[in-house]
Amino acid sequence: MVKKLREYIADAQERGVAIGHFNISNIEALWGIFRAAQKLDVPVIIGTSEGERDFIGLKQAVALVKSIREEYDYPIFLNADHTYSFEGVKEAIDAGYDAVIFDGLKVTTEENIEITKKCVDYARSVNPDILVEAELGNIGKSSKILDEIPEGAETTDEVLTKPDIAKEFVAATGVDLLAPAVGNLHGMLKEGRNPAINVDRVGEIKNATGVPLVLHGGSGISDDDFTKAIKAGVSVIHINTEIRVAYRDALKQSIQENPDEVAPYRILKSSVHAVQAKVEERLKLFNHL
């Protein structure tokens, strides 16, 4: 029987592993992610950003993930990734999402606290099992290939989330999960690896807050940094850009190699396999398999 997402995250903390969170905007990516998780027998979280929800459909994403969970009796969960308003969070909660994120990037710290608490209170009133995550610090907002580090997302100490502020934030909001800025950034740099994660800061924030930490912007981070970040207190890791690139490249090759093919399920089969391979690679690392 599938347990609550909260229980799987607690188990990940206890075992020193991390649950993989992968974004989708269509059913091909969903099947690729699910098949990778199923093969390795590990729980997985599916994410949809505001843009991805607009494309795939809010209630449709819920129905798709729920159908897989029920048919296969499998721990696959759905998260409303990077939502920038209370109204957006409420909409996802009402639609049946298992978890939601309020991203306060566009508001002041005071407003971030106020809106996050409002999200937490509403989620508790609907279903105490719905997890609410908040983001504290600037790690950018675009899951794409980057030419350089975006302005404001540098890895200086002034930009990184501070443990004492994180502690106050968690206490004031009652949030279940926290996504701090620890040197991570959304997207992937075109040349080379993304900046190194400040692992010491991860541990300091974990010790100060006591809540599970989420590492956003996982695409482009080195395997060594992933392993160290998990050991320091990260329990969920977000990957998006990497699987988008895998999907695109496989699709491009499929069309080039089969220019006369018009059946979408044949054209897109290689993209499903490419997503599965990339997700499997990440899940093995996150779960020490």
Residue 195, classed as helix, strand or coil, is: coil
DSSP of 215-266: E---TT--HHHHHHHHHHTEEEEEE-HHHHHHHHHHHHHHHHH-TT---HHH
Distance CA 128, CA 215 (A): 23
Q: 199 and 228 in contact (C-beta within 8 Å)?
A: yes
Comparing CA positions, the residue from 242, 206, 205, 200 lying closest to residue 225 is 200
Comparing CA positions, the residue from 228, 183, 237 lying closest to residue 45 is 237
* CA torsion angle 193 135 274 50 (round to 10): -130
90: which 2 tokens? 């409420």
Residue tagged active-site, from 73, 81, 98, 225: 81
The answer to whether residue 54 is catalytic is no
Cα-to-chain-centroid distance, residue 109? 22
Distance CA 92, CA 65 (A): 14
Active-site annotation, residues: 81
